[in-house]
Amino acid sequence: MEKIAEQKSFGGLHQRYRHVSETVHCEMVFAVYLPPAAKEGNACPVLYWLSGLTCTDENFMQKAGAHRMAAELGLIIVAPDTSPRGKEVPGDPDGAWDFGHGAGFYLNATQEPWRTHYQMHDYVVQELPTLIETKLPFSGRRGISGHSMGGHGALVAALRHPARYQSISAFAPISNPMQCPWGEKAFRRYLGNNRSSWRQWDACELMAQSSANKPGDRVPILIDQGEADNFLQEQLKPEALEQAAAKHGYPLTLRRQPGYDHSYYFIASFIDDHLRYHAACLGNAD
């Protein structure tokens, strides 16, 4: 890990690091926010934030307005990049923004030429936590959240690894990627044409599989969705996730917010609610 930037923020520290990843086989950059309690060496829980299409680690840290509440609640925030990058990493052959660089979809690709680098699920769930949690004053409890493509990634990570996360939330997640244009494009290229292999990367399908778990093993999910989101009907499909949760008895709170779109203005408006929710689940709130 090489530190490449550090700024003081609300008494804590915003830091950026780069390292060479053994999972995605390229140099990766990620950001960490250390609240004052962590800066002073006190053990704190970690919230992993996964950003959406076209984003990097910088979007959330600069635009979401999360540092003030994270400082108050004693939450460490870790924000990885959204995909592998570099000249050696193949992107979209047509230069489109919704696939390739900035659009890793937080899955493990099985198809060439993507499989060597696009292993973002394992990077986020395994390699990055292993790399940094021993270096942070980590309490041993972690949550995960994200926006849009990152909301999809957060839901999938937590549903595939229910014992690993004690809190889950999302803003405007791609809820049913098997049934939307963004997801179908990404899944077909990364995973191949066998749709049955896509099911392990779709939150609605994973929610059905979670019914085999004990009710106590299913971590409640908080989701906010703007009703003025221009991607709502074609890409996000929150009603599919709501139906899956109801059918399989999964604890889900899905709040529809009138007038809000897909932007970081939306995220900034409700990020405090999400941070309080994570802190309560992770044992860092009264």
Catalytically active residues, by annotation = 148, 229, 262
> Over the chain, what HEC string results?
CEEEEEEEECCEEEEEEEEEECCCCEEEEEEEEECHHHHCCCCEEEEEEECCCCCCHHHHHHHCCCHHHHHHHCCEEEEECCCCCCCCCCCCCCCCCCCECCECCCCECCCCCCCCCCEHHHHHHHHHHHHHCCCCCEEEEEEEEEECHHHHHHHHHHHHCCCCCCEEEEECCCCCHHHCHHHHHHHHHHHCCCHHHHHHHCHHHHHHHHHHCCHHHCCCEEEEEECCCCCHHHHHCHHHHHHHHHHHCCCEEEEEECCCCCCHHHHHHHHHHHHHHHHHHCCCCC
